[in-house]
Amino acid sequence: MNSPLAESQHDALIEAMLPDVPFDGWSHAAVRAAARRISMPAGEALTLFSDGAAGLVACFSRWADRRMLDRLETLPLDTLRVPERIALAVNTRLEIVEPWREAVRRALAVLALPQHMPLGLRLLYETIDGIWYAAGDSATDFSFYTKRATLAGIYAAALLCWLEDRAPGFPDTRSFIERRLDDVARFGAARDRLDAAFAHLPNPLRLLRPSR
């Protein structure tokens, strides 16, 4: 785990890189430009991201996750129903990266490479787990995994919709998210029955859940 100092250095570099990523990609050139922008020695910056594009993308995703959680902590979520909390969290995550849409597109291209697919699944899990955490989920049974698997599908589809939704505030994506969450709520009883039926079966998402 990174120290607070290392995390702040990573964050500073990621924020400084974002204007260059549409042109240079998640590359050493973008790292060097960011280092110059914040007066950090280039060698030190490159050492922080020694694992290349995949490491840069992972830091970008975790940077966005932390900002999502920080913003949600300031909002009165207790007044909302759980589906409304989930929708708010997903939309907040997209709002945070909206100025950097091309950086997100390039990040997805990196994660689509076969050698980076396990990392892509891990980052998706971390984002979804953070959203459920913010929504107040305290499940410890099999529903812990089914909730995250369901939301992972919704979030991944919403992200693709958002990439093409150029209207201010991405209204089509917001509507898509709301409809999909309504569908999940409508079939919630059936899902609960499935949870009970499959509670003792292995689930691949267990492999992604960090050990505590």
Average pLDDT over residues 137-147: 82
Average pLDDT over residues 88-108: 97
| Tokens coding 147 | 């909730």
Q: Name the residue with higher pLDDT: 126 or 192.
A: 126
Domain boundaries, the chain: 1-50, 60-207
| Tokens coding 201 | 């079966």
SS3 201: coil
User: Would you mind telling me the total number of residues written for the chain in this entry?
Assistant: 212
Fold of 60-207: Tetracycline Repressor; domain 2 (1.10.357)
| Tokens coding 163 | 């990439």
Instruction: Give the tens place of pLDDT for each residue, 77-87.
Output: 999 998 999 99
CB-based contact 159:152 (threshold 8 Å) = no
Instruction: Give the tens place of pLDDT for each residue, 169-200.
Output: 999 999 999 999 988 877 655 555 555 555 55
pLDDT above 70 (res 114): yes
| Tokens coding 89 | 């969290």
pLDDT of residue 185: 75
User: Quick one: pLDDT band at residue 1, thresholds 50, 70, 90?
Assistant: very low
